[in-house]
């Protein structure tokens, strides 16, 4: 494997990148930042890091030379050093912030090591694919004084923040039931950028844990707590052994119960025909005074009237890298963390509880997971 020599030479000259650079007319400190995993997601998030006036991308790590090369080109202005070994990145004392965007089964080990080394950590979702992995990250984050943020970026969408604040404020009364789904019109690409890990449940966790953690976390946000019980069924009904060796489900039907008594139903599939109504993702929250249609609108319908819906929060263009900006705001301005360890852990554990319910074919309780938040 030959890495791009141009970037190695540039990086060697740069060494530890400057921690202070001229931004506009002023000299602002820039937080030395490392990116571990620069595939599909990592390279996208890195664009957001490069846009931050208070960040410098000083290290890039990936085991795939082509991805490392492409990222080094994209981040050339900051002259990052490139690495194949993520531990060498964590060992660098000058690095203050680490982004982790590797396949999910690697997150906990990398996040724990980065936290223990005193770094601020932005970890892609899910923070772990087993309860014990989540437990390890929770312990390390709670023992750290640094910022830990999970890449559940819906938490930084200002329209959802405004609408959900109104739901939590009582606009639909008590939330009694949530009905949500994540349906896709096709399976993840069988030869795409993540096909070498995605279809192995021990690496991705499957669609529920890897993707639907976003949706389940949003349901928890709407209800205002995490569920305590899960039951349900799942299977590989269409894409049996396709791609060969696949052991992740293509369809899930789940039920959850919350401490308040609220119920949530969630379905997932990857075979919803594109033209068929009712596809894609939604969260319908039903309360004692009305219901809200979330995700593509924030329309609220009052109970027992045929009134036009009330828009809870106007549609707007969200900042494409708002969650990344929020991470640096937590570090530099002590801003409130929209997706802290409790959000990351409870989202992942909600998905893991559902996954266990399907694989064990029994009701699984939150207390069975053995993670204190």
Ligand X SMILES: NC(=O)c1ccc[n+]([C@@H]2O[C@H](COP(=O)([O-])OP(=O)(O)OC[C@H]3O[C@@H](n4cnc5c(N)ncnc54)[C@H](O)[C@@H]3O)[C@@H](O)[C@H]2O)c1
Give the interface with ligand X as residue ranges (CB under 6 A). Answer: 36-42, 61-64, 67, 86, 101-104, 106, 124-125, 151, 153, 193-194, 210
Nearer to ligand X, 4 or 194 (CB): 194
State the Cα–Cα distance between residues 210 and 40, nearest whole angstrom.
Answer: 14
Q: How far is the CB of 147 from ligand X (least distance, A)?
A: 17
Least Å distance, CB 15 to ligand X, is 21
Give bridge partners of residue 123 from the DSSP assignment. Answer: 100, 150
CB of 39 to ligand X, least distance (A): 2
Residue with Cβ nearer ligand X (248 or 291): 248
Q: How far is the CB of 77 from ligand X (least distance, A)?
A: 21
The smaller minimum CB distance to ligand X, of residues 102 and 215, is found at: 102
| Closest distance to ligand X from the beta carbon of 323 (Å) | 8
Strands 364-365 and 175-183: unpaired
Residue 65 has a CB neighbour count (10 Å cut-off) of: 14
The pair phi, psi for residue 240, each rounded to 5°, is: -65, 125
Look at the block and give the residue holding tokens 């027992």: 304
Cα–Cα distance measured from residue 41 to residue 192, given in angstroms and rounded to the nearest whole number: 13
Least distance CB 18 / ligand X (angstroms): 25
Taking the least distance from each CB to ligand X, the nearer of 96 and 217 is: 217
How many angstroms separate the CA atoms of 222 and 175, rounded? 8
Q: How far is the CB of 300 from ligand X (least distance, A)?
A: 26
Q: With respect to ligand X, which residue has the nearer C-beta, 53 or 320?
A: 320
DSSP letter string, 247-270 = -S-SEEEEEEE-TTS-EEEEEEES
Give me the residue whose beta carbon is nearest to ligand X. Answer: 39
Nearer to ligand X, 218 or 262 (CB): 218
CB within 8 Å of 72: residues ≥ 6 apart: 4, 7, 10, 11, 60, 80, 82
- Cβ 231 to ligand X, closest distance in Å? 25
Neighbour tally for 370: CB within 10 Å: 10
Q: Distance (Å, rounded) from C-alpha 339 to C-alpha 273? A: 33
β-pair partners for 266 = 180, 254
Residue closer to ligand X, measured from CB, 125 or 246: 125
Tell the smallest beta-carbon distance from residue 312 to ligand X (Å).
23
Token pair belonging to 154: 């819906």
Q: Are 345 and 127 in contact (CB under 8 A)?
A: yes
Identify which of residues 36 and 112 has a Cβ nearer to ligand X in the complex. Answer: 36
Nearer to ligand X (CB atom), residue 308 or residue 317: 317
274 exposure class (CB count in 10 Å sphere: 0-12, 13-18, 19+): exposed
Q: CA-to-CA distance for 174 and 172, rounded, in angstroms?
A: 6
Q: How far is the CB of 302 from ligand X (least distance, A)?
A: 33
Kindly list the strands in the beta sheet with 290-294, ordered across the sheet, starting from the edge strand earlier in the chain.
310-311, 298-302, 290-294, 281-287, 175-183, 263-269, 251-257, 229-235, 364-365
The residue among 64 and 263 lying less far from ligand X, judged by its C-beta, is 64
């Amino acid at each position: 494997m030959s890495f791009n020599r141009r970037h190695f030479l540039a990086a060697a000259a740069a060494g530890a990148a400057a921690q202070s650079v001229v931004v506009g007319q002023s000299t602002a400190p820039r937080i030395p930042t490392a990116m571990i995993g620069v595939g599909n997601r990592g390279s996208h998030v890195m664009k957001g890091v490069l846009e931050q006036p208070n960040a410098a991308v000083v290290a890039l790590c990936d085991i795939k030379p082509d991805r490392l090369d492409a990222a080094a080109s994209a981040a050339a202005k900051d002259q990052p050093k490139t690495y194949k070994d993520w531990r060498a990145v964590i060992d660098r004392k000058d690095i203050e912030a680490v982004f982790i965007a590797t396949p999910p089964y690697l997150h906990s080990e990398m996040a724990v090591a980065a936290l223990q080394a005193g770094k601020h950590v932005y970890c892609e979702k899910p923070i772990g694919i087993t309860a014990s992995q989540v437990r390890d990250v929770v312990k390390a984050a709670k023992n750290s004084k640094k910022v830990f943020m999970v890449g559940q970026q819906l938490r930084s969408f200002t329209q959802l923040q405004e609408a959900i604040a109104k739901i939590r404020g009582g606009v639909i009364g008590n939330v009694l039931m949530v009905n949500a789904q994540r349906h896709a019109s096709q399976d993840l690409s069988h030869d795409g950028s993540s096909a070498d890990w995605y279809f192995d449940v021990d690496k991705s966790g499957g669609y529920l844990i890897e993707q639907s953690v976003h949706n389940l976390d949003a349901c928890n946000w709407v209800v205002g707590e995490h569920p305590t019980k899960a039951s349900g069924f799942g299977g590989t009904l269409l894409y049996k052994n396709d791609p060969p060796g696949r052991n992740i489900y293509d369809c899930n039907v789940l039920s959850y119960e919350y401490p308040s008594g609220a119920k949530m139903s969630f379905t997932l599939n990857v075979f919803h025909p594109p033209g068929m109504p009712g596809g894609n993702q939604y969260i319908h929250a039903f309360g004692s005074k009305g219901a809200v249609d979330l995700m593509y609108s924030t329309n609220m319908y009052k109970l027992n009237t045929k009134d036009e819906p009330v828009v809870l929060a106007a549609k707007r263009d969200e900042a494409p890298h708002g969650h990344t900006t929020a991470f640096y705001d937590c570090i530099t301005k002590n801003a409130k963390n929209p997706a802290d360890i409790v959000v990351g852990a409870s989202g992942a554990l909600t998905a893991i509880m559902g996954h266990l319910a399907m694989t064990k074919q029994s009701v699984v309780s939150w207390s069975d997971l053995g993670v204190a938040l």
